[in-house]
């Protein structure tokens, strides 16, 4: 490198410092200038774009085309200039904010945003300082909007995935409204916690919330056990009631049918029907009696059913008083 610089200085010294006639010096200067211009034109008439980049070509300051990765020809400067933009690299922005929640509690959040360039032209020309300012301000605004619209219990209760998704959606919508040419790939909440000044109080709240959840789980488990049992008992009682209802209806219908038949028989033969009903009733009543009193001949005669008396008590007594005592002894 030093030798090349020394030879270049010697060449320019020969060109501008004499050494020969005027004609020879002027000719040497012209040749040197032409050689330099040719070398510059050759070197500046093509551009190499890496595989992860694109090149934005500007002709006299106006964007004309996008260069793809590889070797690309162009007009030398200052006619055309090429700005290389890394479109496949994931860029990272890390930040932290402290803000008020919807229920006026303070929370500190450490977060990061990963994004890529989706449109090189918009990234370069639509918004100023996209990397340093635009994405940062838009991210802080999105986090404040989402967290500011959520309660502290929601933020600290394990619903971070929903909040992150909403933050990413709001951030992308904001950048799209700016035509920033940026695609948000991921948003992460690295730390979400109350400030140190009030951490003890929030720990107490968290413990109370956990106790509440445990109590609710125990109550739900008890309900899961008791409710099916109660439903089964209710179903059993209902089935019994339905059976009793059906039985009573059937019995009532049977009694009604028998009564209707008796009415028809009574209309056909009243005396016979009355006599038969009397005999059937007396038969049913006397069948379960333990003593029968016959007073048809003017004196009381008590007949005791021997087969229903206790052993040793089945003696027929003509004396009413003794018969009564014997019957009482048999019933005991």
pLDDT at 325 over 80: no
Mean pLDDT for 185-203 is 84
Whole-Å CA distances, 31 to 34, 38, 41, 99? 5, 10, 15, 70
Q: Which of the pair, 3 or 197, is modelled with greater confidence?
A: 197
For 317, residues 6+ apart whose C-beta sits below 8 A from its C-beta are: 302, 323, 326
Q: Per mean pLDDT, which range of 19-28, 133-142, 275-284 is the poorest?
A: 19-28
The whole-model pTM stands at 0.52
pLDDT reported for residue 279: 86
Q: What are phi and psi of 109, to 5 degrees?
A: -130, 125
For 274, residues 6+ apart whose C-beta sits below 8 A from its C-beta are: 266
Mean pLDDT for 236-253 is 93
pLDDT reported for residue 240: 94
Question: Which ranges in the chain belong to alpha helices (H)?
Answer: 2-16, 22-43, 120-125, 135-148, 152-156, 160-178, 199-268, 270-287, 320-331
Nearest by Cα to 134 from 142, 99, 165, 149: 142
Distance (Å, rounded) from C-alpha 9 to C-alpha 15?
A: 10
Nearest by Cα to 68 from 92, 81, 49: 49
Instruction: Give percent of the chain with pLDDT exceeding 90.
Output: 34
Q: What does DSSP say about strands 91-100 and 106-117: parallel, antiparallel, or unpaired?
A: antiparallel
pLDDT reported for residue 261: 86
The Cα diameter of the chain in Å comes to 189
For 72, residues 6+ apart whose C-beta sits below 8 A from its C-beta are: 46, 47, 48, 49, 55, 82
For 225, residues 6+ apart whose C-beta sits below 8 A from its C-beta are: none
Angle at which helices 160-178 and 135-148 pack, to 10 degrees? 140
Distance in Å from the first CA to the final CA of the chain: 141
Q: Which of the pair, 134 or 42, is modelled with greater confidence?
A: 134
151 neighbors 103 (Cβ within 8 angstroms): yes
Task: Give me the chain's average pLDDT, please.
Answer: 80
Distance (Å, rounded) from C-alpha 189 to C-alpha 18?
A: 72
Q: What are phi and psi of 297, to 5 degrees?
A: -100, 15
Q: Per mean pLDDT, which range of 250-254, 275-279, 283-287, 323-327 is the poorest?
A: 323-327
pLDDT reported for residue 328: 42
For 171, residues 6+ apart whose C-beta sits below 8 A from its C-beta are: 113, 138, 139, 142, 184, 187
Q: Per mean pLDDT, which range of 67-81, 103-117, 136-150, 317-331 is the poorest?
A: 317-331
Q: What are phi and psi of 294, to 5 degrees?
A: -110, 115
Which tens digit of pLDDT belongs to each residue from 144-183? 999 999 888 788 776 778 899 999 999 999 999 999 999 9
Q: What is the DSSP string of 300-312?
A: -EEEP-GGGSPTT
Mean pLDDT for 268-293 is 80
């Amino acid at each position: 490198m030093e030798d090349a610089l020394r030879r270049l200085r010697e060449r320019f010294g020969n060109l501008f410092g004499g050494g020969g006639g005027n004609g020879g010096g002027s000719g040497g200067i012209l040749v040197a200038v032409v050689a330099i211009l040719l070398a510059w034109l050759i070197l500046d008439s093509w551009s190499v774009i890496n595989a992860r980049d694109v090149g934005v070509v500007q002709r006299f300051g106006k964007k004309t085309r996008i260069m793809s990765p590889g070797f690309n020809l162009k007009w030398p400067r200052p006619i055309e200039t090429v700005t290389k933009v890394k479109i496949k690299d994931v860029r990272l922005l890390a930040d932290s904010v402290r803000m008020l929640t919807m229920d006026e509690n303070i929370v500190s959040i450490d977060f990061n945003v990963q994004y890529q360039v989706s449109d090189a032209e918009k990234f370069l020309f639509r918004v100023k300082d996209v990397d340093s300012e635009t994405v940062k301000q838009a991210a802080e605004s999105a986090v404040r909007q989402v967290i500011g619209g959520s309660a502290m219990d929601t933020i600290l209760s394990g619903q971070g995935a929903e909040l992150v998704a909403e933050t990413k959606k709001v951030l992308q919508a904001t950048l799209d409204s700016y035509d920033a040419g940026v695609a948000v790939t991921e948003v992460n909440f690295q730390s979400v916690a109350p400030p140190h000044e009030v951490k003890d109080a929030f720990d107490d709240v968290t413990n109370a919330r956990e106790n509440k959840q445990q109590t609710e789980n125990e109550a739900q488990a008890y309900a899961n056990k008791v409710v099916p049992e109660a439903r089964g008992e209710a179903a059993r009682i209902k089935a019994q009631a339905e059976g009793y209802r059906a039985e009573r209806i059937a019995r009532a219908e049977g009694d009604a049918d028998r009564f209707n038949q008796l009415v028809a028989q009574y209309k056909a033969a009243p005396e016979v029907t009355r006599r038969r009903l009397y005999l059937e009733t007396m038969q049913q009543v006397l069948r379960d009696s333990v003593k029968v009193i016959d007073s048809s001949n003017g004196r009381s005669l008590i007949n005791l059913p021997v087969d229903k008396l206790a052993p040793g008590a089945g003696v027929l007594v003509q004396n009413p008083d003794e018969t009564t005592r014997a019957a009482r002894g048999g019933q005991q």
